[in-house]
Structure formats: C-alpha cells, structure tokens
Amino acid sequence: MIEMKEDQIEFLLSKAIDQVKTNGEIQLVSFTKQVNRIDPLVFFEAAKMLEKNRIFWSSTADDFCVVGVGKAYDIVANKSRYNETEKEWNKLLQEAIIHNPYEVAGTGLLALGGMSFDPKRERSSLWENFQPSRFTIPEFLLTKNNNTTYFTINIQVTKNDHPKQMLRACKQAEKKLFNTFIKIPQGVGIKSKEEKNPEAWKHSVRLAKEKIEKNEAKKIVLARELRLELKNKAEISAIIDKLIKTQATSYIFAFENGNDCFIGATPERLVKLEKNQLLSTCLAGTAPRGNTKEEDTRIGISLLDDEKNREEHDFVVKMIKRAINDYCTDIDIPGKPVIYPLKNLQHLFTPVIAKLKDKYSIFDIVRELHPTPALGGTPTEESLAFIREHEQLDRGWYGAPIGWLDSNQNSEFAVAIRSGLIKGDKASLFAGCGVVKDSDIEAEYEETNIKFLPMLSVLGG
C-alpha cells in the first residue's frame, strides 16, 4: 500500500482548522490517494471493526465499486428534497478543502444515499432508520475504478481539533480497514416465509384494472412484501458476495443505517452523468429465463412480441424522452427494445443517450424521472394517488432513486428494485408489477414471485 503523505494531510487539516476559527462554518477536508488493490468486500467486512455504518455500491459491468465507512457529513432533507440536497451539496463543494490529483469518478468528496419512493406517504416503523432523503459523505472511502484502487479520507474539522491527533486516528482506522486477512462470513438460511396479505394485494390489482378500464389511468404499479425469518442474524457481507456472484449485470448496493440494512441488486439505471454526458435506461417488461438456450431464446422472442409488455415498455420510453426533453440536447433513443438478460429474469431494454444543458444538474433529471412508469404508473399523479390509498405497504426506499455523486462532476442513480430491508434476523423483500388493461391477476401475482427470486436465492430460499 502506498504510504500516506502525513505532512501534506497535516497541512490541510491545519488550514481547515484555521478557517473554522475565522468563519465558524463547517469545514470538510478530503484527501485521496492511490493504493494497492484490495477486495472491496474484504474492506467492507473489515469496517465492522470500526463499528460504523457501511455503504456498498458496485457496477460489475463498469468495473466500478465504492465502499463507504462512517459519516463525515450527512445531507438530510425532508420537504423540498431535491432542492435542499443540491443546495447543501453545492455549498459543501465550494467550502471543502479537496486534495485529489486523480479526479477519477467515485473519488474525492463523494455522497452516497437515496430517498423514499413517495414523500407524501407516512413513514412506517419498518423504515424508521431511513429518512425521506439522506446522502452520506463517508469518513473513509474505497474506490475501485477500471482495475485501479483509491482511498479517500473525509474529515469534518472543528476549531478545537488537533491535526496530529486526527492524523493518528486516521492511520489507526486505515490499518484496520486494510486488514487483508479478513474472511467473508458464510451466508444465512431462511427459517420461515410469510406473504403479507396476498389476497388483499390481488384485490388491489382488481381495483386497479377497474380504474384503468374506466380510462382513469393507463398503468398502475402495485408492490407487495414478503417477510422472512432467518436462521441467524444476517451477515451483510455474505449477502453482497452472493449478489455479486449471481447478479453480475446489476448494481449491487447496501446502505446500513443503525441496525438495519437496505440491500439489493437492481438492473435498472435511472440516470448516469459523466460531466454533461447523460445515459438513462428504459427497463420494463419482464419474463423468466429458460432452462435451456432454446427455451430462453423462445421466451425472449415471445417477450419482444408480447403486446402487454411492449405497451408497458413504451410507457417508460415516452416518459423518459418527455422528462429530459427540456433539459438535454442530442437525445438519441433506439426505435425498438432489445432483451436484457439477468440470472433469473429477462427484460425489455432501451438505452437513452443525451447531452445535459449547462444550467441543469443530476437532481433536475432525477426529479423529472422519478417515479418512472415502471415503478409508479401513468399518468403519474393518478397512479400515485391509487398506490397511496390501496397498496398494502410503505415502500420506503424500495423503488426509489439511490446512488452517488462526486466532486468531479460524475454521478449515477439507479432504481432500488430487487431489494430487501434486513433487520437482524428478519428481512422484508419487495416486488411489484405493472397493472394495465390486459393484466391477468394471477399472472401478475406470479410475476412478483419471480421478482422475489434474486433476493430469496441469496438468503437461502
């Protein structure tokens, strides 16, 4: 591992402390260095020794992974969450002392987090540890980008801090985090399963169909919950390990807050920004994988030809185009979807490429895109009103935007599906489906069962 430049960090810390004494404002110091390769999952597991919250985010297809440990700063917003978060983030960027000679995506000052699906929905006790919007700047950050590894320390200083003491504490923490002898624990098994109100959920699907048949909506997405009792307290590292091995084309994520962890493997990108280059994804329309190559191909062709799924997919394509039209130029959307295969499922997929106009940000796009018709329905307000009245659960962060943004003008958000909330030896899994005029209630129910599979399988079900 490359040695920390102690005198350089000590100088930055002293400078920050002097600034705090002068202006009394919050002062963040961020220092990034390149380090020898370490398995991000080993780093994540080692972080347990620091007894701090952990965050994991990876995109195997992009050879990108970040692991956050602890909290240097939290951006929490309740009402105007997009505006409040952007305002506070921009203020931090202006005032922070950032030493990052690499300026690689995912390094430097970086915030990771998410928000609830519907801020108008009253929060239940299930999601008591997850605010309507929360983005954390980790105290320690490991970034793996294109086979190169970086380590970032983010520190919030006060006027009474001492640089040498702070530096000593950082070195002690770093030594624990880079303990390569750490072993990933074994997975857990499922003791029991309980579907939460399946008949009531089917009734809500029936009511949604009636509303659509009256032309009061075109599509309504309804989610349901599967409660699990595990044989032992869940080992988050073991679950992530299995998700990485079984869901290679998805975003793997885990957000710890207190004793709870929201975790999953979502295939659905909401939006990615590299400077002003925007990439979004239309992912709607679902079918299972086949047992043989021939069966798999046959199911894929059937999905491409299926009127119900193509209509559902087209809702998303049109919405994304409409949502970004005022914010972007050079919008490029293919005319037809292709098949996007996962381990357990296959989806209809259409990429969207565009250029973001100078005066707009990632938050403008996320605000316009969420919720997509794939997670809410269309028209948006009518479908959300129906969901609030008839859905049997508080979605919390399920189905909502989760992601990261850095001080190098890079950011990425995904839609938090194929996920679950772990609470010790208990887990709640979530899955939904889009109800349209031709929906078959039992078929929609079976589709949600298929969508439970990615999380069920890694938990031992």
pLDDT in tens, the chain (461 residues): 444 477 888 888 888 888 888 877 778 999 999 999 999 999 999 999 999 999 999 998 889 999 999 999 999 998 899 999 999 999 999 999 999 999 899 999 999 999 999 999 989 999 999 999 999 999 999 999 999 999 999 999 988 889 999 999 999 999 999 988 899 998 889 999 999 999 999 999 999 999 999 999 999 999 999 999 999 999 999 999 999 999 988 999 999 999 999 999 999 999 999 999 999 988 888 899 999 999 999 999 999 999 988 988 998 899 899 999 999 999 999 999 999 998 888 999 999 999 999 999 999 999 999 998 889 999 999 999 999 999 989 999 999 999 999 999 999 999 999 999 999 999 999 999 999 998 999 999 999 999 999 999 999 87
Cβ-contact 397, 116 below 8 angstroms:
yes
Q: Is 152 left (phi over 0), alpha (psi -120 to 50) or beta?
A: beta
Structural tokens at position 108: 């430097």
φ, ψ dihedrals at 88, nearest 5°:
-70, -40
Structural tokens at position 420: 């679950």
Cβ-contact 85, 93 below 8 angstroms:
no
- Collapsed DSSP state (helix, strand, coil) of residue 180: coil
CATH assignment of 194-234+268-458, given 1.10.1060.10, 2.60.40.10, 3.60.120.10, 2.60.120.10? Answer: 3.60.120.10
Per-residue burial over 40-77, b if 16 or more Cβ lie within 10 Å, else e, is bbbbbbbbbebebbbbbbbbeeeebbbbbbbebbebeb
The set of residues, in sequence order, having a beta carbon less than 8 Å from that of 64 and lying 6+ positions away, is 58, 105, 106, 144, 145, 146
Strand 64-69 relative to strand 54-59, pairing: antiparallel
Catalogue the active-site residues: 219, 268
Cβ-contact 365, 327 below 8 angstroms:
yes
CB-CB neighbours of 421 under 10 Å: 23
DSSP annotation of 181: T
If residue 384 lies in a helix (H) or strand (E), which one and from where to where?
helix 380-390
Which amino acid makes up residue 219?
K
Tell me how far apart the alpha carbons of residues 171 and 296 are, in angstroms, rounded to a whole number.
Answer: 52
Tell me how far apart the alpha carbons of residues 72 and 57 are, in angstroms, rounded to a whole number.
Answer: 18
pLDDT of residue 1: 41
Is there a binding annotation on residue 446? no
Tell me how far apart the alpha carbons of residues 268 and 281 are, in angstroms, rounded to a whole number.
Answer: 7
In angstroms, how far is the first alpha carbon of the chain from the final one? 40
- Collapsed DSSP state (helix, strand, coil) of residue 258: coil
- Collapsed DSSP state (helix, strand, coil) of residue 74: strand
H-assigned helices in 131-197: 163-177
Which amino acid makes up residue 173?
A
pLDDT of residue 7: 81
pLDDT of residue 404: 98
Cβ-contact 218, 378 below 8 angstroms:
yes
Is there a binding annotation on residue 391? no
- Number of residues that this document lists for the chain: 461
Burial class (CB in 10 A: 0-12, 13-18, 19+), 411: buried
pLDDT of residue 194: 96
Of 3, 135, 74, 107, the C-alpha closest to 402 is 135
Strand 27-35 relative to strand 97-99, pairing: parallel
Cβ-contact 305, 450 below 8 angstroms:
no
Cβ-contact 138, 151 below 8 angstroms:
no
pLDDT of residue 6: 79
Cβ-contact 350, 337 below 8 angstroms:
yes
Of 250, 277, 413, 275, the C-alpha closest to 352 is 277
Tell me how far apart the alpha carbons of residues 243 and 247 are, in angstroms, rounded to a whole number.
Answer: 5
- Collapsed DSSP state (helix, strand, coil) of residue 444: helix
Instruction: Report yes or no on whether pTM surpasses 0.85.
Output: yes
Tell me how far apart the alpha carbons of residues 192 and 70 are, in angstroms, rounded to a whole number.
Answer: 33
- Collapsed DSSP state (helix, strand, coil) of residue 323: helix
Residue ranges per structural domain of the chain: 6-177, 194-234+268-458
The CA radius of gyration of the chain, in Å to the nearest whole number, is 22
